[in-house]
Structure 1
Amino acid sequence: MNISLVGRHIELSDAIKDHLMHSIDTLTKYHLDLISVNAVASANERKKGVTIEFTINVAGKNTIVITQRDDDLYAAIDIAIDRAQKALRRLHDRLSDHKNEGLNEAKLAASNSIDLHAATEAMEDEIVPAEPILFKPQEVAEILEKLKESGKVFEVFYDIDGKMRVLYKRSDGRFGLY
């Protein structure tokens, strides 16, 4: 990163240069590819104050220009650096949006590793043909004994009269017949 410090109608002392350099170093925390940062401090006698202008060149992105005017040069530098950090943070967040990051890569990986046709077939309900079992009429007592032995909750059967019946275990431990 190239850094240039310029003073127009004002002399930059070592303390001001150190403050500027330290402030500019804080801009690197966003891990953006900063090409150059130009800081121009100028004094204006008519407007009674100082102006600091930061021009930040980010690789592959637009140039960020921050201009701040104040009576005190140190205050102007601090306010301008805060504004620059806010602009860089927004740029960084826009570039590395965590909600969308990796979504396209995940879709690509999923589509490469999974056969979509096989996956859709696996998700469909599978119908297995079975041969019908012919039910002979049974006594309720026989079905009651089977139900007690098997641990099932209910049993469907045809009774002696040829009606389809359901014998089920109730929650109170007794049995019901439908």
Structure 2
Amino acid sequence: MNISLTGRNVELTEPIKAHMNTSIETLSKYNVDIISVNVIASTQSKKGKEHSTVEFVIHLSHKNSIIIKQNDDDMYAAIDMATSRAQKAMRRMHDKETNHHKDGMNEAKNEANTAIDLHEASEALEDEIVPVELDLYKPREVEDVLNDLKDGKKVFEIFLDNEGKTRVLYKRNDGKFGLY
């Protein structure tokens, strides 16, 4: 990776160059083929205030170049913000390459056939019924069930009435109770 550091209207001191070089070296961890990185640092004065501008031009092999321009009052802060934006762009490029593989149809069919056992899959899809015993077998009065429903957090209660019929008492949306 070729690194070019340029200063316009500003002298690049050794600490600034070292900071730029360490920032650029963090871009190599994304496993994207970087041909060269050009860093242009400049200062401008607008309305009596000095603004530092850092521009990263990252040339990648077989891809478009990434150009990032960042302004700030402090040169180091501008370098850090431009580096974080460059890292974000490189991470997106890396994720795009690794997560969006285009496999051929034959590879996908072979992989699907070897990975799935149809007999096990059909057995897994069958419903399993687990018998559950009811807690209360004795007949109950509707008023008793209504009081239990008001006191508890349940929405409905299934019970046997005095005539031996299975009944359901439930809370309605309007705050009243319904009985089946």
- Shorter chain as normaliser: what TM range? 0.5 to 0.7
Partner secondary structure for residue 48 of structure 1: strand
Q: Distance in 2 between matches of 1:12 and 1:105?
A: 55
Partner secondary structure for residue 40 of structure 1: strand
Partner secondary structure for residue 21 of structure 1: helix
Give 1 or 2 for the bigger CA radius of gyration.
Answer: 1
Q: How far is 1:107 from its partner?
A: 1.6
Q: How far is 1:102 from its partner?
A: 7.0
Q: Which sections of structure 1, spanning at least 5 residues, go unmatched?
A: 115-178
For the pair 1:10 / 2:24, whether they are aligned, the reply is: no
Q: How far is 1:101 from its partner?
A: 3.5
TM-score of the aligned structures, taking structure 1 as reference length = 0.57
Alignment of 1:1-178 (within 5 A): 1-46=1-46, 48-97=50-99, 100-101=100-101, 103-104=103-104, 107=107, 110=110
Q: How many residues align?
A: 111
Q: Distance in 1 between matches of 2:106 and 2:28?
A: 30
1:69-94 superposed Cα distances (whole Å, 9 cap, x missing partner): 00000000000000000000001111
Q: Counterpart of 2:78 in structure 1: which amino acid?
A: A
Q: Distance in 1 between matches of 2:105 and 2:16?
A: 47
Partner secondary structure for residue 96 of structure 1: helix
Q: Distance in 1 between matches of 2:85 and 2:45?
A: 25
Q: Distance in 2 between matches of 1:82 and 1:102?
A: 30
Q: Distance in 2 between matches of 1:93 and 1:50?
A: 32
1:19-74 superposed Cα distances (whole Å, 9 cap, x missing partner): 00000000000011000000000010226211000000010000000000000000
How many percent of aligned residue pairs carry the same amino acid? Answer: 48
Q: Distance in 1 between matches of 2:59 and 2:105?
A: 30
**Which portions of structure 1, spanning 4 or more consecutive aligned residues, are displaced by more than 2 angstroms?**
100-106, 108-111
Q: How far is 1:2 from its partner?
A: 0.5
Partner secondary structure for residue 17 of structure 1: helix
1:150-174 superposed Cα distances (whole Å, 9 cap, x missing partner): xxxxxxxxxxxxxxxxxxxxxxxxx
Q: Distance in 2 between matches of 1:11 and 1:82?
A: 23
Q: Which sections of structure 2, spanning at least 5 residues, go unmatched?
A: 115-180
Q: Counterpart of 2:104 in structure 1: which amino acid?
A: N
Q: How far is 1:104 from its partner?
A: 3.0
Q: Distance in 2 between matches of 1:78 and 1:56?
A: 16
